[in-house]
Amino acid sequence: MASPCVECLVGWDPKGTPLPQLATEWKTDQATKTVTFTLRKGVKFHDNTDWNAEACKWNLEQYYITEKNKDLNVKSVDIIDDYTVKVTLNAWTWICSIK
């Protein structure tokens, strides 16, 4: 029900190909178990605050620290700059390799 008002970092087309949404691009590094997202600039929340790395980190951490999602694969979310975040995983999975 939230999909009309909630957007993800990455979406998927009907064939399963990842599509940019709030992230314009992403780079994966299997050796370091990281995915680095470049965030879309110019996006605002309904209250006119900016969508940026700080907002992304806060939202991802809120999702991953809930009791329901505590066993998911995210180890940390780090801000690289105003529009770049790096997600470090506990383990590399097949989904991380999709480009």
pTM: 0.85
Tokens 């939202």 sit on residue: 59
Return the closest-CA partner of residue 20 out of 10, 12, 28.
10
Q: How many residues does the chain have?
A: 99
End-to-end CA gap in the chain:
28
Is the Cβ–Cβ distance between 50 and 59 less than 8 Å?
no
d(CA 64, CA 74): 7
pLDDT tens-place string over residues 59-99: 988 888 776 766 678 889 999 999 999 999 988 876 655 55
Give the amino acid at 89: L
Which CATH code of 2.60.40.10, 3.40.50.150, 3.40.50.740, 3.90.76.10 fits the domain covering 10-91? 3.90.76.10
